[in-house]
């Protein structure tokens, strides 16, 4: 089970939101590059970076900071990036700059043809984010709830050739209330590609529950507020996950 620290960037700073609400931002650092270095030094094998401003505006906003993160740690660990990736030129620019994986969310839901084109052009580099509340997918930085069912979209996007699905229960994200293992397992069982869990992971018990579900296809989880608030120690959590996966 791969544990992936999240670095959410808003206005050039490392923050965490509660349930995606931009008004709830807690600033943890003015230096996201130093945060990236910290997690890699703690043993992280991949980083999850999000341009929160980009997710809202639909275009890259924190690109210069992201480029510095990739320059600092991209040669050591893969960096997966989401937020504001709405056209192929932007994706190409980031991949050429060293980003290993791009995470397409809103654009995939609103324009499935774009996701299909991205998978064709950048095979092996595309993840799709399905952010949901009560089984329905949300878009635009989680500000808009659609009528799309998570499982239906997951099956559709799997056929397009995405590498994995990043699933977030937005009702739990940033709340430290525990990961929604049941919904994540239901999704993982509905597709053949890997699923990455996100939202609400708070304790070592959550890590153990996810590890127990690894057989269903959950291969990784993104960790956010739990790391920044100290309810989880990253190095200890990854070591526990490694032992459980054995």
Q: Which residues are catalytic?
A: 8, 131
Residue 166 phi/psi, 5-degree rounding, is -95, 110
Contact predicate 149/156, CB 8 Å: no
Q: How far apart are CA 96 and CA 99, in angstroms?
A: 7
Residue 200 phi/psi, 5-degree rounding, is 95, -5
Helix (H, G, I), strand (E, B) or coil at 12: coil
Contact predicate 135/165, CB 8 Å: no
DSSP H or E segment with residue 8: strand 2-10
Residue 205 phi/psi, 5-degree rounding, is -60, -40
Following DSSP, what letter does each residue of 25-87 receive, concatenated? EEEEES-HHHHHHHHHHTT-S-EEEEEHHHHHHTS-SSHHHHHHHHHHHTTTS-EEEESS--S
Angular region, 35: left φ>0, alpha ψ -120 to 50, beta rest: alpha
Residue 24 phi/psi, 5-degree rounding, is -105, 15
């Amino acid at each position: 089970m791969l544990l992936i620290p999240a670095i959410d960037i808003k206005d050039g700073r490392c923050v965490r939101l509660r349930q995606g609400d931009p008004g709830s931002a807690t600033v943890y650092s003015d230096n996201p590059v130093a945060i990236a270095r910290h997690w890699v030094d703690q043993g992280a094998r991949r980083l999850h970076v999000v341009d929160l401003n980009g997710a809202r505006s639909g275009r890259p906003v924190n690109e210069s900071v992201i480029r510095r993160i990739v320059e600092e740690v991209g040669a050591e660990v893969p960096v997966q990036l989401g937020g504001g990736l709405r056209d192929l030129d932007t994706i190409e620019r980031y991949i050429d700059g060293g980003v290993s994986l791009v995470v397409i969310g809103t654009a995939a839901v609103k324009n499935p043809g774009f996701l299909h084109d991205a998978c064709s052009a950048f095979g092996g580099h595309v993840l799709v984010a399905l952010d949901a509340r009560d089984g329905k997918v949300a878009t635009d930085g989680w500000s808009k709830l659609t009528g799309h069912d998570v499982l239906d979209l997951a099956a559709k996007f799997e056929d397009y050739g995405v590498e994995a699905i990043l699933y977030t229960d937005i009702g739990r994200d940033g709340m430290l209330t525990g990961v929604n293992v049941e919904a994540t397992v239901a999704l993982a069982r509905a597709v053949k590609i890997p699923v990455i869990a996100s939202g609400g992971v708070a304790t070592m018990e959550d890590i153990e529950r996810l590890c127990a579900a690894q057989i269903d296809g959950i291969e990784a989880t993104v960790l956010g507020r739990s790391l920044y608030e100290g309810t989880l120690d990253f190095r200890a959590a990854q070591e526990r996950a490694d032992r459980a996966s054995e």
